[in-house]
Amino acid sequence: MAFLSKSWRTLVALLLLFITWETMVRLLEIPQWLLPSPLKIFQEAALNWSDFSVHLLSTLRLSLSGFAIGTAIGLLTAIILFLVPFLKDSLYPLLILSQNIPTIVLAPLLVIWFGFGALPKLIVITLVCFFPVTVASLDGFKQTPAELRHYLSMAGANKNQLFWKLEFPSALPAIFSGLKISATYSVMGAVISEWLGAKEGIGVYMTLASSSFRTDRVFVAIFAIMILSLLFFACIMIIERFVVRWKTKGGDSR
């Protein structure tokens, strides 16, 4: 697989970065509360694992459910807007506006309205997750090849058949691009939503760590978020490869 044979370069680059970081911290004698060395961060992660894993799991659960709800709403919105052009004309600008509200500002408001339960957190994740899926899917639906649409119309397909047999499957690659973006956003959304006030989660762990100047723990949290996002992304990519395998199989016989 091309993906694996190329990934060693990334690994080498990452390793080099860590080595430079480690030597700089040691040579310049940077205090630990300012910038801990990578070794120190890994040590902290290993030592504190049983405590941290509780937070990690909580965030994982939150981002997964937020992602599921967000992308489902995103896809549904795209389908409705596509099938009812009148709604698209009136609501599409509002959707874009919804992305202009900074999440950090919106979050405290949501707490005022919905309290400290799971609901405001899920709303935050949904808000960051639905948009990429909606936009990507709408683009995908629109870019259905004209010749295929023409053939299906001539063959007597009704609007319903046209959508499920043509427009939806042809939009799948676009929908997956949206899903990949949403997958990485969902972890970030979950962490932000945990800042609102939660009992556990990487967001909580991070706030506690930074307020007590445990910079090493902040970095543990940052790395955890990165790895989680990457894993999400990889999962979607694997599912995509299976679902749109007709695309990857292109022209291998001639």
Partner 1 sequence: MSRILSVNSISKSFASKKIIDHLSLDIQAGEFVSILGPSGSGKSTLFHLIGGMYNPDEGEILLNGNQINGQRGSISYMPQSPSLLPWRTVLQNVLLGQELQGKKDVETAQKMIEKADLSGYTNAYPSQLSGGMKQRVSFIRALLSPQPVICLDEPFSALDELTRLDMQKWLLSIWDEHKKTILFVTHNIDEALFMSDRIVILSAKPASVTEEFILPFSRPRHNELLLTDEFLAWKRKIFYTLRK
Q: Which residues bind partner 1 (CB under 8 A)?
A: 147-148, 150-157, 161, 165-166, 169-170, 172, 244, 246-247, 249-254
Q: Which of 175, 202, 74, 76 is nearest to 129 (CA)?
A: 74
Helices (H), the chain: 2-28, 38-47, 49-83, 85-98, 103-114, 118-142, 146-154, 159-162, 168-195, 202-211, 215-243, 245-248
Helical pair 103-114 and 168-195, crossing angle rounded to 10 deg: 70
Nearer to partner 1, 6 or 249 (CB): 249
Q: Report how far residue 114's alpha carbon sits from residue 52's, in angstroms, rounded to the nearest whole number.
A: 28
Q: Least distance to partner 1 from the beta carbon of 76, Å?
A: 22
Nearer to partner 1, 10 or 158 (CB): 158
Nearer to partner 1, 6 or 245 (CB): 245
Q: Least distance to partner 1 from the beta carbon of 246, Å?
A: 4
Nearer to partner 1, 29 or 147 (CB): 147
SS3 (DSSP) at 100: coil
Q: Least distance to partner 1 from the beta carbon of 240, Å?
A: 13
Nearer to partner 1, 82 or 168 (CB): 168
Q: Least distance to partner 1 from the beta carbon of 80, Å?
A: 23
Q: Least distance to partner 1 from the beta carbon of 65, Å?
A: 30
With beta carbons less than 8 A apart as the criterion, state whether 38 and 18 touch: yes
